[in-house]
Chain A
């Protein structure tokens, strides 16, 4: 069965520091992978997605993620964090089948210190 693991429940970084949020997935075939961000009281906003091709994908707000098949990982990175990046981040895998549903991880809550 498909699953997504986000091992870090809560991360605190200083403004201007680099960021890496971890995501590991379990899926039999080539996965469709996503990162979403959720601000308090808001819905989910798509940051970036990977289907195939270049394993380093660029997203909005200066985020990028790298697909590593050998490690079953799709980690999210940002070189310099801004205070407005404080939010909860969800990694998700899509099954690509008729249902097209996404399986989400439990999320990583990012806090940004001044």
Chain B
């Protein structure tokens, strides 16, 4: 597609529920990132894939967070046993370069609300 697509746009989850957030990067983009943006804050890095390899997951806040990109294209961010502090906008970004300092293209995000 022309841009990075994320689904769903909005997700309301009851505390303790598992959720899965999907990211469709721009076709052919090798680098894929997930960021978490809490209300009133800047985005914070969660994890980075180069093709199907997860090269950095240092930003994942707990072992309840898991990301995958099995075929090097679509990625899923899974959050198990959601808690209220997980409420945030989850942004996906992709880049055609492995040296992503040229800048990424961001999706519109998934707004997760845990009640």
Contact A99 B55 (CB under 8 A): yes
Partner among A42, A98, A103, A105 whose Cβ is within 8 Å of the Cβ of B45: A103
Against A, the Cβ 8 Å flags (1 = close, 0 = not) of B71-82 are 000000000000
Partner among B55, B95, B101, B106 whose Cβ is within 8 Å of the Cβ of A45: B106
* Residue A34 is within 8 A (CB to CB) of chain B in the complex: yes
Contact A99 B48 (CB under 8 A): yes
Contact B48 A43 (CB under 8 A): no
Question: Which residues from chain A contact B41 at a C-beta distance below 8 Å?
Answer: 106-107
A110 to chain B, nearest CB (A): 15
| Chain A residues numbered 6-49 whose CB sits less than 8 Å from any CB in chain B | 32, 34, 36, 41-46, 49
A97 to chain B, nearest CB (A): 9
The distance in angstroms between the C-alpha atoms of A105 and B102, with both chains bound, is 18
The distance in angstroms between the C-alpha atoms of A98 and B44, with both chains bound, is 17
B41 to chain A, nearest CB (A): 6
The distance in angstroms between the C-alpha atoms of A105 and B41, with both chains bound, is 8
Contact B45 A101 (CB under 8 A): yes
Contact A100 B101 (CB under 8 A): yes
Q: How many chain B residues touch the partner (CB < 8 A)?
A: 29
Contact A100 B59 (CB under 8 A): no
Contact A102 B40 (CB under 8 A): no
- Minimum CB distance partner of A51 in chain B: B101
- Minimum CB distance partner of B31 in chain A: A100
Contact B45 A102 (CB under 8 A): yes
* Residue A79 is within 8 A (CB to CB) of chain B in the complex: no
Against A, the Cβ 8 Å flags (1 = close, 0 = not) of B27-65 are 000010100000011111100100000011011000000
27 A-B contacts (beta carbon < 8 Å) = A32-B101, A43-B4, A43-B91, A43-B106, A43-B108, A44-B91, A44-B93, A46-B105, A49-B103, A51-B101, A94-B100, A96-B101, A98-B56, A99-B48, A99-B55, A99-B58, A100-B100, A101-B33, A101-B45, A101-B48, A101-B56, A102-B45, A104-B42, A104-B44, A106-B42, A107-B40, A107-B41
Q: Which residues of A are at the interface with B, using a C-beta cutoff of 8 A?
A: 4, 32, 34, 36, 41-46, 49, 51, 90, 92, 94, 96, 98-107
